[in-house]
Each structure stands twice: as C-alpha cells, then as structure tokens.
Structure 1
C-alpha cells in the first residue's frame, strides 16, 4: 500500500460558509476534514438518498372491476409507506373517477395492502441464489421487490423472507374493492431451498409455478399439493457433475441480455381436455468453464459457471410441459421435446434471447441470436411441434418435412455492427392461417424504430450438408451471414408480405410498447424531441406516416406505465433540477387529437430540497462532428475567478446513458456530495453511449479502451473553457465497472490530464470477461486478437505514473461478474513494473457494494483520498 501524504488545507480570506446537506452543518468546504467528518458526511448523504429513493413509487399494475356504480380502478405499486425508512411493501390507491377539480399538489393517500409484515430475511441473510439474482437485476431495494398478480381474481404472490407468500385483494359482497389490509399466507412447500421466479397461471390463479434447485415446480395454492415437473438438475454439490437446469437462464443471458425467467405459461387454454402447458428452456452448461471464488466469511470456495470470451457457452433447447389437474391434483405430466432442435435448423444459433407465447396461445415464439450477434431471427413454433419423441441429432435418415412442421422464421435482422436485443414485440390477432402480423423494432436505419410486419408462414428449411465446427469459440456456423439454407425448395429466409415503417428519423424508440387493438393505436416511449428526455407517444396504425403525438410534458424525463386498455397511465417524471413526481393521467381523444389529462397525483415535489443543488446540462461540439452531452456541478463554495479540483465521473461504455434531463439526487447523489465538499464534477456521454443511434454507439466496435479517453478529454477541456472554475491541473477520473476500466485507461493514456484515478471493479483484460458482452463489441480473442491486446489495461502498465498516491483500485473479493482476477492480474503487473498503487479490497462484496458498512467505508475512503492527494 502506498503511504499517505498530508496536504495543507487551502484557505482564503473570502472562503464562504455553505450549508452541506451531507453533514447538516454550516462549514467551509476548504477546511481539511477528518476521516470521522467524512464518515458523517457519507452517513447523512446515504440517509438522504434512502429517504428520497423510497419515496418514489414503482412497479405499477392497474386493476379495473365492474361495480354497481360503474367501473372502478385500483392502482397497485411498490414503495415505502410514509413514516417508514427502507422496506418496500405492496401499496395501492383507488383512482378517482368523475373528478373535475384536481389539486396535483395533494397526492392521493398511499394505502397498505398488507398488515404489518416484514419481507426482508432475518438479519438480511439472502440465500446465494437470491444474492446472485439481486446482482443480475441490480436490486438495491429491500422488502418486497417484485410481485405477480392475477387482475381478474385479485390474487397476489410475492417472494419474501426466503419464501413465497400469497393473498387475495378481494371484492366485497357490495361489488366494491375491500379497504382493510390483509395478512399474507405463506405458500407451504416440501421443496428444500429457496423458491424463485414465482408465476401464477394466467387462466387459473390457483396454480403457481416456481423454480426450486434449478427445476420447474407447480403447486396448487388452495390444496397445497405440489409437483416437481422437470428433473434436469440432480442436486449434486459438485456443479461439474450437475450441468443442467430447467427454467433458469444462463448467467450470460441474465447478465448481458436482461432475461431473468426461463419458463412461460400458456396464456389461455386451447383445448377442452383441461391441459395446461408451460414452455421452458433447458440449459446445459457442461462445456462452460467453472470459476472458483474464495468466500472469506464462510472459509469456503464457491464455484460458478462462467464463459470467458472465446470459450464455450451454455447450450439451450426449448421444451414443453403438459399436465392436467384432476380434483385439484396435478397429474398426467408430459415432458415434450421439439421434433428437431432449433440449433440444428439454425446452425448459427448461439443464444435464445427472448421467448414466449402469442397472446392467443396458438404459437410459441423465440428470438435467436448468432454468436457474433450480427444476426437475429424471430421464429414461430406451433405447439404441435413438441412431441414425446425427441429428434436424434445423430440420426442420418429423417423426415425433414415432418421434423420442421410448424416452425417458421418470420423475421430476420442482420447488422455489420451488432444487434442490440429489445423487448419490443407485439403480435396481432391472427386473421389468416397462412400469415401473421406483428410490431417489431430494429436499428437497421441507424436508430431503433418500429415496423408493422406481415409475414407468410412458410416452413423453415435448411441445407442438409451444413456443418458446424466446435472450437474454442463455441459453436460457429461454417456458412456466412447471408447463407440461404435450402432444402426441398423450402427457404429459411423469412417471407415478408409487407413491412411498414411506423417511425423514422434521427431519434430512438426506447423500452416497451402498448397496443390498443380495438382503436388501432400504438403507444411507445422514445426520444423524438430530445435525446435527453424519454416521452410517451402515440400513433395511428391505420394511417402509417401520420403525425406522432407526444402525451407527456416536455422539460422532464418520463417513466410510464399504461393500463391494459390503454386509457390511463402513470408517469414518474423529473428533471435535472426538479425531483421526481408521479401523476395518473387519462388518455382522451378530442377533435381527433390525443390528449393526456391529469387525474390525480401519487407524489409531488417535496417542500424542502434539503440543500440539494443540481448539476447543469450542457452540450458541446466535437472534432468528429458529433454533439456530446454532459453535466457539470459547480462547487458549493464557488467564488468567481477561482478554480477548483475536479472529479470526472465516467462510465463511457456501450448500452448506458448517464446524461439525461432527469433527477440525479437519487442514483448520483454522490456527485452532489463531491460538489458540497468543494469539488467541481463533470459527467460526459461521448461516442459509444446509448440512445444516440447504433452508429454513434459503434464507435467502440473493435476499439474498446482506445478511443473513449480522447472524447472524454475533449469534452472536459471544452466545459473547462466555458465555466472557468475547473482546475485542469487537478482532475481525478473516477468510475465503476466499465467506468473503472476507463479510469485506469485515463491515468495510463493521459497522466498529464488526470492527476488521480479511482477505479472500482475494473475490467483489465477483455479476455477475462464474459462472452455475451465482450464478443458483441470485440469478436473473439481467437479471431480478433489485436483489439483485445490494444484494449487491455495490462498492456499499458509501463505508462502508469511513478508518483505515489495517484492510483486507487477498489474491488469486491467475491465479485462473480468482473472477477477479482482482473484486479489481481493488474496488481501483479504493477508490482513487476515497480509502479505505485493503493488497493482497497472488500472481502464480502460482489460487483456492487451492497453491505451498508462496506459502502460507508468505500465512500469515506474516496473522499479522504481526494482530499489528501488531489
């Protein structure tokens, strides 16, 4: 560890006294502070952050019932009731109807669905499976973090206290919603271990499926009778002997493609014999490398399947479960296989990134992606293609027409950059048995836009002599991207009858869509007005090319949720200067114009901002001709004409946007804390960041680590020339994960600009990171070795400064995402080169520092390091 250096405090005759919400005291930010004072500042900031975050409602569900007085709507959501500190619970408001005079400054009263109920495990002891799922989902909330509800019956199921709980929000004999809170009932089970991913059957809310020990189970909530449906996992202690799972996505699919479920109930019954169907994914990780991570607290070693770039991925196949219920007992369970695996029909398939059912239950669908992520297909599968007899891939003679019956490729996307996977997909009711229509999104124009597609249902064919070769990169097709597999005159290319672009322009559609099938209206979120704000828009499907109407207010970023009839929506909205509010709005059509009218408020602006001073948004030109967006925080002790030490907070990687016109006092309150202690703070989204189009993002293709710092430095110099208070000779670069990687690259590539680097959980060699992320942007190490070498921090060790106290590295020892091996390899290289560094290890932390004590120590240490050495 490098020795500490004492730095004299900077004083001036006119140094102002400022109120610092972090400490709650009137202090001079220029006065040198002790470790204890920094700790108190961090504690106060954390308290403020927790209070602010927990005030924001989220995870909304609308439920409308018919009553003697007409339809009534209840809005469910998660949040922390007033007067409580931290634990989320289930809440509701009854949406007013027929109200004319609205006072949005008086929010509706949040009401508890549940009686007093603690949902956090005793002493916060989540199981390993729960910890890992929280890491994949980036969950920071405690208490109830998710729920599943059947809006017809009002039955809820939610995970809590390492178990599952259920209750019914019932309708009274008078036909009205009940208002008394209920106490949930635990769903008793004989299954050992935690039950994850609970899902109610869409057409029988008494049936509940869940995952236990990597297999699919179902239970009857009324009788308690349960049944294990799959037997993929053996339950061995040694994961090398137990590579299969059912209903659970692989690590890469969860971490890099944001799919957290691996099974899907059939939405509605299609037979009269009472058959239930569940589509699920069986994953085989037998070829995936096993990583061993020491767990210091438990004095043990945890094993994980982790596919590093260029190594074998998990193999997955789709299967179907069929069963019936007789006298409330699950019986006649059948495990069905596809007549032929998708990976044989599509030899280039590497990932099943999305799957599910069409709303009418006539088809299963899947989005399949190639290994290098430049080819994606939407495949439709008839349930009749699933059979008790699995296709034998070793079989030389087979009936191709029979094995392919009911499998259709209905869309294909290709790219010479990469394909970003999206959740946007909506199937329309099928009118003809020979075709199907759907809404699809694609970035083929350079920006993500919506398309109304009608495809002919033609059977998938392929060329019999197509082979795949197994190598260190996994399963790669011999055929090229534009291969046209043919067999018996049947093409595997989609037969597109019609494709209409519904949106266009240099802006992006984001998140999800909602379709009003009755009125032929399509609602979506996007950045049509500005890339810094997300808004809700509507367009008329009957008039493609007609005007797109914005339904949300400019000057804010909106996170919206529509009801199932597309007549109302909630919007949680904020700006960089104003904290989050939440309104319920009604969608109306007046004189052929769509208008959103406020109905009520769930959350209004707090009367006291507690001294919070927001940053300022800016845009700057660049040498490339692109516009960069940024945020700058003025130090609270600012005196005109003086310059201040500066923190450049960086992420810089793809698939992320930091700079938006939304409130930063929640996730980025740390930046405000820096400013309150006398630092200027700068944040920049340069080339490579998201929501600016795939071309803007593709600046990083095959160049990660080699181009980002130049953009960051260019933006830093520009804003310094504009504001006049940035001391360009005292700049620290600070980031986490990809931001930690760039902090290291910044210090090694531009030590003349960055006096300090604080790197959290940094990637140091892309060859050590996972397949799904790394290969999307860099290819494989075997086929693209030069970008891997150029983008490795280990190649820049000799360029790190020889001065002490310029480099601080922070890492959790049990990080299963960016493994500590990244840091240990880097430290080993620093030692060999005799370079100074400071290392802070958190033995019980993963990729995110979740433990409150560790988080407090980390934040305090960063402030202390900045004060002493910047």
Structure 2
C-alpha cells in the first residue's frame, strides 16, 4: 500500500531530503563542497565534494561513521540556531571552510570535527570539552575558532592546542554568537569573523541582561522546569550588542560607534580592502555602513541609506570589488537597485533580491522582473548586465574562479536541479536523491484584482468544468515570504488540499516581496486591513473568471503570519469567510519581536493605534455575526510565536461567547518538524474544514459514459 501524501511529505521534510544544498565553490573554481543526505527519506545530512577536474563525487563525512554520540544531544544554543534557520534535518547541517576550500570544520552533537578535502583522510575529532557551536577555520586552515559555553575559543591544528580568547564577563553575556533578533529577523547567524590575515577576530559581545525573560513551559510534563527565554517583545529592551577586535594574544580593542542611536548590528564585511560594519537605528529608517580603523576600533561613515518608513536589509551587501569600489543597494524609482560606487548598475525594471557572490570584478546576484520568478544575473564593467536564467523559475547560485553553480526550481520539475558550469564550458549535474512527490499541481498562476495580485489557483486533479467546489484560501500573506512562485514544490500541499475536494486559492498581497518598495510598504501602520482586503479582492476576481468556485463555502488556513491572517479573516469578515484554521498565529503584535514588529507598526508607546488596528482582540469582542468555526493550533514549545498568542485569543473569544476550538501541540516548536505531528496535522485540518463547510469528502463528479 502506498503511503499517503501527508506521510511522505512529513518523512521527506517536504521532499527536501536528498537534495544538495549549502554549496561552496573553491576560489579556483575546481571544487564544490556541499551537504546532502543519502536518500530522500534519510534525515542524516552528510558532507560531500565534487572534483570539477575529474567529475569525481566523494563522500567526505557521514555522521554514522563518526563517533559523535547521540545526534539529539545538542547544546541548547545549537538547538536555538537550528530553530532560527528552520533546520529540519540532522547530521552535518552546517560547515565552514578555509579561504582556499581545502578543509572544513563542522560539529556533531556538540563535538568538533575537521575534514581535509585534499588528503582525502577521514574527518578527525578535535578534543574539546564539548558544547561546540559554529566552528570556523581561519583563512589559511591552520586554526579553528568556535564558541563553547558562551566563550570564543581557538584551536591550533598542528600543536593541537586550544585557547580561550574571551570568556563571558557576566550572567547573560556571550561572545561570538548572534543575538535572537539578528538570527530570527536579519539573517545574521554568526557572531564572529576572522581577519583576512588570520591574526585576529572581530567578535560580537551580546548582553541579554536588559531583555525581558519569558518562560516556555511543558504542560505535558509538569515535573520539568520552564525554560527561560530572553525575548525582546515590541516596545521592550533589545540585547546590547557590541563589537571587539580580539587578537590571538587575547588583546582586545572595542569597535566604537553610537550604539544608543544605532543599536542593531546588521552585518560585517571583512576583506582585503578593509573592515565594514553595517548598523541600524531602532526605527529602521536608516542603514549605515561604517569603516573600521582596525588598530584603534574607530569608525567613519561610508554610506547611509534613509527612508521615512524603513530601509530594507538586502543580503550580500555591502561588498567590495577588487579595486575597492563599494557595492551597495538603494530603493530608487520604486525598485531595489544595485549600486557600484554610488551609481545604479541595474534598471528600474529589475528588483534586486540578493548579492550572491563576487568573482574578481563580476557580481552575481538574484533579481526579479516578475515576482513569481527569481533569476540570476551578472554585472561587470567589462560585460555590463547579463541575464543567466531567462526562463521562469526560482534560482540560486554561486560564482568563483569562472565556475558558475546554479540551482533551479520550476513548475515542470520536482524539487531542485543543481548544475555546475566551468569557464571552459564543462558542465556537471550534482545528483538529487529527493523522493518524487507524486503530485502534479493543476495550477494556474494569474494576476488578480485591481492591484494585479499574483495568485495561484489549484483545482482537484479530477475536476471537470461545471462542478462547483468549496474554496480554500491558503496564504502566508505577510512580509518576507512569497507563496506564489514558479516552482512546483511550492504548491504541493495546496494541490493535496485541492484533491480533497477544494478549489485552493493562494494570494501574495501587499507587504509580500518582489513587487518593489511601495507594494511592500503599503502595510505600514496596519498589518491587517490591506492584507485582508487583498485576499478578498483576489478571491472575488478569481471567482468571477471561474464560476465553479462556490463563494458560499470559503475556508482559509495558514501558519504564523498566515495563521494570523486566517483568524483575522473569520473574525473581521465572516460575510466572506466561513471557516478558518489558524496555526501559530500572532494575535497581539505587542507579543512579537522588536525588529519585525516595529518596522511595520512603529514603537507601541508612540503608535498604539497601529497595534490596535492590527490586533485580533477587538475583532474577538466585536458583535459581528455569524460566528464562524475557528480552529487554533499552536506548539507549546514555540519560542518565536509563543503559545500565549493563541491562549490569550482563546480567552478573549470565550469571554465574548464565541465558539472555537484549540489544538495544543505538546513539545512542538514553530517548525512542527516531528513526522507524526506534521502528517496528522494536515489530515486534521481537512476534516475540520470539511465539517465546517459542509463537505462530506472529495465530491467528485459522476463518471461519464
């Protein structure tokens, strides 16, 4: 008997196991290092190399061959890092290399390992006290730095000597780790950087003492103590983050800037040209790049971008070309544009997403003409702007030594295809071992409504025109994330719901990326009204084109921001939406973190009305009828959107006499990575929606003839 789609999706981590990922190219373009598990159902990630001279692929490290102990025996800080990156696999989930990519360091169960790509020897374990986090070799592969117990340590490989460079100097203080806000909202997962000469490090000191402590309890195991979490909720204190230049002789020089005016450390760039630090004020209306004088730690401003709403953080910048020209981005003509030495090098028709690599004087970056596709482009002064991936799809890439690595997902192919092309034209494909999904989305992507909202409509594989279908809206709908993409795997879950008897509609409304600054910033001061209006506008526009959509039976489901949107829909517009499943919803934005929330709503002390407009509690108490069925789902171990969001909303609904259901998930975080939970959660949602909308099952039309 073939396993169900929910079971296969859960077992394969959404069909991502077995795919090559986290690729690194050597500077000479001759070697690729990457991660991949052995099969599409194997959650243990291994380290591999591909020799582009011979085409030989080699398994460098399989955790099962190493004496690493219990894979689940991870340091608490490492568990937190994986939660921030939404890592669902195990084994070797990250690594770092020397500059020439001849060796790498990684951890297993808090133990440090070093692998040599040239000699081909088995990885060796480095004797430490354990609890190792984020090991990184120096540029020459002679030493490995790592964090353990909140201290930054350096291990010299030849004498096999470990030195603690800097120790925590107080409770709640760590050295070399990213703070919660950096990891969750800025994409900065690291807290230290080697100098290009390998003679010192720039190290972040994080003091969480000012941050309010919350406590994550485990009600299913009352004998366990609640876990304290330093959570910087909107309007409260952030961690204090400072930078220090630390020599191998333990000398320490503080990097100085006005931390009171610019409290967010966004990123660090340290190359042969110099050391740059990017900082941001609390209101996020500026982004400043500072050059650091490394002997003294003094800083001078290089460039500043400002906006009266907020300035977006674009991954990969700032950076330098070989001659020192600064690569930066700016919002200009309603476009995120790439700048070199202050001059735009991309047109107003191209939305820059990320700077991926610099190879000599060639920039590799991702960008979109249409938000459903993310393509790859290069720019250099000699060749100008070149489009590398003109066909629709979602692409990523790396470029080094003239070798180009491209990852591609599209609507015609399961998963992701990874290809490598050398400067001489030789091409290789890095095999993917992903399981096939067994679903082909019956999908139409269109532009709906007066704002041309990118919308996906999925019908049951068995549907025939003239057969009316209940509608299921399946959005994320908020900033930072897109659901409507030209990639098959992005639509698999929606297609499965469609095959249960629904017409599924997915809408990327205002606030979602890819359409330019004005579209993204339309949610300023109100995360509810424009987002919900766009879902309704697109729904009506699609239904006008397809009379098989039954607007008398409309459900909505979502997770995280999508969960917030689902609850908002049935509470605020019960005339349109007839049932909702709200997973891990943000219900009161005062309970969500500073950097994300204050970017859109401001500080709650100065903009309380924005929080009121965006909260679900007024809607819970409103006298709108009829009362629509609402299922609230929340992981009790969630430290991102804490369970208090759902519990407080449930209390408000109960006080208002509004019926609803609550499904608490014991031991589950924001990711719901547990296989049995992920599988059964889909089935439970379908049964709830069928019951709420009066659907007995996949109401297939009778066979003809």
Give the TM-score normalised by the residue count of structure 2: 0.92
Task: Please list the CA deviations of residues 465-495 of structure 1 after superposition, one character each: whole Å capped at 9, or x if unmatched.
Answer: xxxxxxxxxxxxxxxxxxxxxxxxxxxxxxx
Secondary structure of 1:576's aligned partner:
coil
Matches within 5 A, 1:479-490: none
Q: CA deviation at 1:598?
A: 6.2
What's the secondary structure of 2:166's corresponding residue? Answer: coil
Does residue 157 (structure 1) correspond to residue 114 (structure 2)? The answer is: no
2:307 to 407, 415, 440: 415
Shift of 1:300: 0.8
The question of 1:820 aligning with 2:657 is answered no
Cα distance in 1 for partners of 2:74, 2:549 equals 44
Q: Is 809-818 or 50-59 further displaced after alignment?
A: 50-59
Change in CA separation of 1:183 and 1:115 when aligned onto 2, cut-off 3 Å: farther
* CA positional deviation for 1:803: 6.5
User: Aligned partners of 2:266 and 2:606: how far apart in 1?
Assistant: 24
Distance 1:614 1:668 in 2: 7
Counterpart position of 2:257:
342
Cα 1:800–1:262 change in 2 (3 A) is farther
CA–CA distance in 1 between the matches of 2:131 and 2:174? 15
Say yes or no: does 1:527 pair with 2:475. no
Specify which of 445, 449, 452 is matched with residue 618 of structure 1. Answer: 445
1:637-676 map, 5 Å: 637-664=462-489, 668-676=491-499
Alignment gaps of 5+ in structure 1: 1-22, 26-39, 66-71, 98-107, 172-177, 235-241, 270-275, 324-331, 387-405, 431-435, 454-498, 589-596
Kindly provide the CA deviation profile for residues 699-720 of structure 1, in whole angstroms up to 9, marking residues without a partner as x: 1000111221111011011112
* Distance verdict in 2 for CA 1:186–1:730, change over 3 Å: same
Paired positions, count:
688
The residue number in structure 2 matching 1:395 is none
- The answer for the alignment partner of 2:421 in structure 1 is 585
Counterpart position of 1:558: 395
For 2:174 and 2:367, the matched residues in 1 are separated by 37
Contact 1:620 1:628 in 2 (8 A): yes
Q: 2:459 aligns with which of 622, 634, 654?
A: 634
Q: Does 1:258 align with 2:187?
A: yes
SS in 1 for 2:529: coil
* Residues 46, 63 of structure 2: 8 Å contact kept: no
Deviation at 1:82?
Answer: 4.7
- 1:185 maps to 124
SS of 2:46's equivalent in the other structure is: strand
Q: Does residue 420 of structure 2 align to residue 601 of structure 1?
A: no
Task: Give the equivalent residue in structure 2 for 1:575.
Answer: 410
Deviations 1:395-431 (A, max 9, x none): xxxxxxxxxxx5210101100121111222222346x
Pick one of 311, 318, 329 that aligns with 1:425: 318
Identify unmatched segments of 5+ residues in structure 2.
694-705
Residue matched to 1:683: 506
- Are 2:698 and 1:751 equivalent residues in the alignment? no
In the alignment, what sits opposite 1:229? 165
Offset of residue 780 of structure 1: 0.7
CA RMSD in angstroms comes to 2.5
Instruction: Determine whether 1:509 maps to 2:352.
Output: yes
1:123 Cα deviation from its structure 2 partner: 6.3
Shift of 1:729: 1.5
Residues 219 and 868 of structure 1, relative CA distance in 2, 3 Å threshold = same
**Aligned counterpart, 1:282:** 205
- CA distance in 1: counterparts of 2:10 and 2:254, whole angstroms: 51
Cα contact 1:153–1:170 (8 A) shared by 2? no
Question: In terms of Rg, which structure is larger?
Answer: 1
Q: Which residue of 2 aligns with 1:249?
A: 178
Alignment correspondent of 2:52: 95
Query: What residue in structure 1 maps to residue 6 of structure 2?
Result: 42
Check if 1:308 corresponds to 2:233: yes
The 3 A distance-change label for structure 1 pair 420 and 262 is same
SS in 2 for 1:385: coil
Deviations 1:511-545 (A, max 9, x none): 2243343xx433322114x32212221233258xx
User: Does the CA contact (< 8 Å) of 1:189 and 1:224 recur in 2?
Assistant: no
Q: Is the 8 A contact 1:576 1:615 kept in 2?
A: no
In the TM superposition, what is the alpha-carbon distance from 1:802 to its structure 2 partner? 6.6
> Is the 8 Å Cα contact of residues 115 and 183 (structure 1) preserved in structure 2?
no
The alpha carbon displacement at 1:813 in A equals 0.9
CA distance in 2, matches of 1:83, 1:375: 44
SS of the residue 1:53 aligns to: coil
Q: Is 1:764 aligned with 2:656?
A: no
